[in-house]
Chains A and B, each alone.
Chain A
Amino acid sequence: MSKKELNQVLGHADEADGIEEYDNPLPNWWLGLFYFTIVWGVLYGINYHFVAHNSEVKTLAAEMADADAKWPRQAEAAAATEVKLTPEAVAAGEAVLTANCVSCHGADMKGGIGPNLLDTTWIHGGAPENIVNTITKGVPEKGMLTWGPILGPEKIAEVAAYVISKNHEATGTPAVGEPAAPADTTKAGSPS
């Protein structure tokens, strides 16, 4: 564009309430940007769908595979974790319970939003593996979270140990450190 063509008024002002308009050319960088985004958009679309055959489902699968390789699967890990009724496990479990469970099950564990943990009624089974399973999977339909991915198998085993240690009667397990106990560890496995 020669300089002469710049800032020439169109002469429509009397038809635009006195507003003059120049007929300046489009700035080159603006045109360049416009063409660039169009070319980029078309190439992106072609590449995503027809060259790389990409998809969000595939991306997710790849991320999950990476995660599996890095960290073993939750369910398998849970199956391998035993509920150990050791004083250390029980103490650690108490901390987990205080941090996560008391808001629903009550500071005294006698229930609130969620059921009483110290009585003899177990809605989803009172055996250690049932307790671990209930915590891991949660009861989403009644508002209890799926704690598996949040706490991890280790903390779940600990908090289960604590619940069991507080409720021998209902779970039929011996108290912590009682010498006569036939077995102080119980294999807990997720039935799935």
Chain B
Amino acid sequence: MQYTAGTSVAGAARVEGVKYDEDIVKMFLIASVTWAVVGLLVGVIIALQLAWWPANLGLPWTTFGRLRPLHTNAVIFAFGGNIVFTGMYHSMQRLLKTRMWSDTLSRIHFWGWQLIIVSAAVTLPLGLTQAKEYAELIWPIDIAITLIWVVMAVNFFGTLAIRKVEHLYVAIWFYMSFVLVIAVLHITNSMAMPATLTRSYPVYAGLTDALVQWWYGHNAVGFFLTTPFLGLMYYYLPRISGRPVFSYRLSIIHFWALVFLYIWAGPHHLLYSALPEWAQTLGMIFSVMLIAPSWGGMLNGLLTLRGAWDRVRTDPILKFLVVAVSFYGMSTFEGPMMSIRAVNLLSHYTNWTIGHVHSGALGWNGMISFAMIYWLVPELWKRPLAHPTWPTAHFWLATIGIVLYTVSMWAAGLTEGLMWRAFDDSGLLKYPNFVDIVNQLHPFYWLRLVGGLMFLTGAIMMAINVFQTISRPSSSTAAAA
């Protein structure tokens, strides 16, 4: 049983009389494209600052220390968040055969989320921070995030309650884990006693604080950059390729294994720290056990494409998907390896971690988002892309950019890790001057900048393409998109 593939024909079955809320999907899509360009641009700026310090401009607001959290918040919560919401609002309505429960809550969610992003973009350069990685935002913004999240969750479960199907497709399970777990993580990690409007004291102290922070930090990766994106994969990959999902059984088993194991893996960020060693061991072994559940997602993605490989050669959207799923598999193998004590001894504090982060972030989150955007724009606006050949160019720019980024950071990480631990014949540090090591890294920083620039260029091409497509008057031949 197979339906027409690679066209804009919506799924085989449709309920009559349901009018989906397409506007909210369009709003989130435009927001993701915009924030993608902003977040990547800030990434390129901080990459330049590491290669060439005068780019700090000597102003407190533009120094690396303040722009770095701006970059991470912009790419994860603004770009990543908005693209996940785009996909959720688009696919949920179709999978559940119902309009969202409340259009008002959808809009409060949209504008609230954008407002949170803007307030982050103002407060972080001003130096207002709680100094917890990925949870830097000050307490009033944390409260706003909680409220908006609750609005979104009520709408999400409200829509589930009024659904017109019995069976819940696997993508919905992944979204559900995102909605629930991120709420728990955010509230637990952000607990603080306000002192002034912009300052607060965390309720946890010392080691407890560190453990809660990295329980949060790792699961932000697990439940913000992994499970909702797997949900997107499970909807868009079979829809775009027109192929049946390889294995339902695998999807259920790897889902439960993934959500169960992720929660325990946080201490791999605290190896060789004051954290009791049994907790470190737990973090390490649960991370190693994560390989197979993660690869379950990759397998289900790649094997679903069986029978569509001929089209991968010509269709840039499928190309983006294949590379995304492959990088997901790559970084979820690398992560567990880095969780092993002896490996982490070398990799921790080095640029290797940065390479790992971006092979996941650019390769997996970035590429799958681009595939979605290129497929959704003609669907939603019912017209062909303004520049149909650009996505292929974007694909190659992005792919080569990722390779330059990750390879240069692996090389830099190994170089510095090995130089730090080298001794000379008399038992002294071989490279006692930190600056000597930094000088070795310098060429790699430039190389990373080139990779980042290529990735950004591709994203700007996408933004131009999207905005020119949607600002053109809609044509009557649109459905041929």
Contact = CB atoms under 8 A, between A and B. Distances in A.
Interface stretch (B10-18, B70-78, B175-183): B10-18
A178 interface: no
Contact of B272 (A56, A149, A150): A56
Contacts of A150: 428-429, 432-433
Contacts of A16: 11, 95, 165, 167, 169
A90 B241 CA distance: 76
Secondary structure at the B interface, as helix, strand, loop or mixed, is: helix
Interface string B395-429: 00000000000000000000000000000001111
B238 A20 contact: yes
B144 to A, nearest CB: 33
A31 to B, nearest CB: 8
A124 B293 CA distance: 61
B288 A41 contact: yes
Contacts, number: 133
Contact of A41 (B94, B97, B246, B285): B285
Contacts of A30: 250, 292, 295-296, 299
Contact of A9 (B1, B91, B97): B1
Given A26-B249, A150-B428, A18 B13 contact: yes
Interface string A100-121: 1000000000000000000000
Contacts of B6: none
A18 B295 contact: no
B426 A19 contact: no
Nearest to A152: B428
Contacts of B289: 34, 37-38, 41
Contacts of A31: 292
Contact of A15 (B169, B272, B277): B169
Nearest to A18: B11
Interface residues of B, number: 53
Interface in A22-81: 22-27, 30-31, 33-34, 37-38, 40-42, 44-45, 48-49, 55-56, 67, 70-71
Given A9-B1, A30-B296, A17 B285 contact: no
A14 interface: yes
Interface string A167-184: 000000000000000000
A33 B426 contact: no
Contact of B291 (A37, A55, A71, A100): A37
Contacts of A56: 272, 277, 280, 341
A115 B272 CA distance: 38
Given A17-B10, A34-B293, A49-B278, A151 B432 contact: yes
A19 B244 contact: yes
B3 A18 contact: yes
A12 B291 contact: no
A181 B42 CA distance: 66
B411 to A, nearest CB: 26
A100 B2 CA distance: 73
Interface of A: 7, 9-10, 12-27, 30-31, 33-34, 37-38, 40-42, 44-45, 48-49, 55-56, 67, 70-71, 100, 149-152
9 contacts: A15-B167, A16-B95, A16-B169, A17-B235, A30-B250, A31-B292, A37-B289, A149-B428, A150-B432
